[in-house]
Amino acid sequence: MTPLHINFSPLHISNSLKNLVNMKLATKFIHAGAEPDPSTGAIMTPVYQTSTYVQEAPGKNKGYEYARSQNPTRKALEDAYAIIENAKFGLAFGSGVAATDSVIKLLNPGDEVIAANDMYGGSYRLFTKVWERYGIKFRYVDTSDVKNIKAAVTANTKLIWVETPTNPLMNISDIAAIAAISKSAKALLCVDNTFASPYLQNPLDLGADIVMHSATKYLGGHSDVIQGALMMNDAELREKLYFIQKSCGAVPGPMDCFLVLRGIKTLHLRMKQHCENGEKIARWLRDHAKVAKVYWPGFEDSPGHAVAKNQMRGFGGMISFVLKDESMEAANKVLSSTKLFSLAESLGGVESLINHPASMTHASIPREERIKNGLGDSLIRLSVGIEDADDLIADLDKAIG
């Protein structure tokens, strides 16, 4: 049998895919990374479940040598990652945390990172419990005020790490203004874009150097995969991160890449519904007699609204709230009595989830630190899914009582 000619090398993005850059979001999301399989014409990228590739002679291969370094299913997804974030390059990792870890591995002992004081607890744990031990210094500031970032810059600042909107308080940081600071400090700016997704926000267009995603969330979208992504424009930076990806080995398997490729195809439809349901529920919660405060950047009077409106295309389906009765008992009652909102960590799937950050997603942040940064014991976080909004409201109404 004649070997089938597969004309893709790990750095090649076909012209038909490059043309997508100028297309609208829905077209990009459906076609990103999807080219008919060169060996069969299969419209869906096959799951190349292989660990290695047969070579014709030493050093003579089709661009694939060993699956930790390259895999065609992963390559299709990495092209898709680039396209959906208006980037030149995308890299896929075994989890969001592995993607974050790879960015920190660009640094050397003595280097400093300015990071948000309100961010995903797992990022905070990685920074404080793992990387501080290797001599990287982290300065945590409220990144929603650029003055705090300016004040924290030193000659050793090499990276600014921003999450916007933040998990779980929905604080908004001005990406373009922070990019101006990072450029003058000659530091990299990496934005964790997990909460917004590329449907709502594209940080590279606003001057960021790297975008990070927990693809576990909106990109996968169906709560069936753990994965992380990095997107960037600079070829040298891509080389450094690719070196870390293959040398440290936190790569996703091909089946997981297939699932995220499939998830991305409906990102625009899902996000539209997440936003619509999110708005209905946020406004309903704010009018509820037993609710003290609702965190959602779509409220015209929320502190980050003007910036969010400027840099996002919508406000998403993530909402946090506190009850007037701030006791843990009252919060626990709500957390354990919803039926449609399942009590679980994670977010961004089609089904609605309810979460207690203090004991779940953000338990790794010391209590004093949490409270100081506004994350109280009784805060409840919702990942609003794409079920019927009226059914979701009825479920919350019963649980809040």
Ligand X SMILES: Cc1ncc(COP(=O)(O)O)c(C=O)c1O
- The CA distance from 287 to 305, in Å, is 19
How far CA 138 is from CA of 3, 113, 368, in Å, comes to: 52, 5, 18
Measured distance between the N- and C-terminal CA atoms of the chain, rounded to whole angstroms: 69
The active-site residue out of 48, 64, 120, 124 is 120
Tell me if residue 270 is catalytic. Answer: no
How far is the C-alpha of 233 from the C-alpha of 206, rounded, in Å?
Answer: 12
Per rule CB under 6 A, is residue 144 in the interface with ligand X? Answer: no
Residues 97, 219, 308, 318: which binds ligand X (CB under 6 A)? 97
**95 touching ligand X, by CB under 6 A:** yes
> Of residues 53, 68, 262, 280, which has the active-site annotation?
68
Q: Select the span of 18-26, 187-195, 251-259, 301-309 touching ligand X (CB under 6 A).
A: 187-195
217 is a catalytic site residue: yes
Least separation, in Å, of the C-beta of 225 and ligand X?
Answer: 9
CA distance 350 to 348: 7
Select the residue whose beta carbon is closest to ligand X and give its number.
Answer: 96
Confirm if 221 and 350 have CB atoms less than 8 A apart: yes
Q: Is 122 in the site for ligand X (CB under 6 A)?
A: yes
Which residues between 361 and 390 bind ligand X (CB under 6 A)?
361
Task: Determine how many CB atoms are found less than 10 A away from the CB of residue 161.
Answer: 24
Which residues are bridge partners to 343 per DSSP? Answer: 354
- Coil/strand/helix, residue 212: strand
Say if CB 127 and CB 115 are below 8 A apart: yes
CB-neighbour burial class of residue 104 (10 A; exposed 0-12, middle 13-18, buried 19+)? buried
Site for ligand X in 34-73 (CB under 6 A): none
Nearer to ligand X, 95 or 171 (CB): 95
Decide if residue 163 touches ligand X (CB under 6 A).
Answer: yes
Task: From 94-102, 178-186, 298-306, 349-357, give the range in contact with ligand X by CB under 6 A.
Answer: 94-102
Helix (H) or strand (E) holding 205: none
One of 47, 226, 248, 344 touching ligand X (CB under 6 A): 226
Alpha helices in 227-385 (DSSP H): 235-248, 254-264, 267-286, 305-311, 328-337, 367-372
Is residue 283 among the annotated active site residues?
Answer: no
176 or 226: whose CB is closer to ligand X? 226
Look at strands 342-343 and 353-355 and give their pairing. Answer: parallel
Phi, psi angle pair for 358, to nearest 5°: -60, -35
68/209 Cα distance (integer angstroms): 25
- Choose the stretch contacting ligand X; rule: CB under 6 A; options: 53-61, 91-99, 264-272, 319-327: 91-99
Q: Is 252 in the site for ligand X (CB under 6 A)?
A: no
The reply to whether 349 sits near ligand X by the rule CB under 6 A is no
Site string for ligand X, 5-24 (x = CB under 6 A): --------------------
**Smaller CB distance to ligand X: residue 62 or 357?**
357
Active site residues: 68, 120, 192, 217
Site residues, ligand X (CB under 6 A): 95-97, 120, 122-123, 163, 167, 192, 194-195, 214, 216, 226, 228, 361
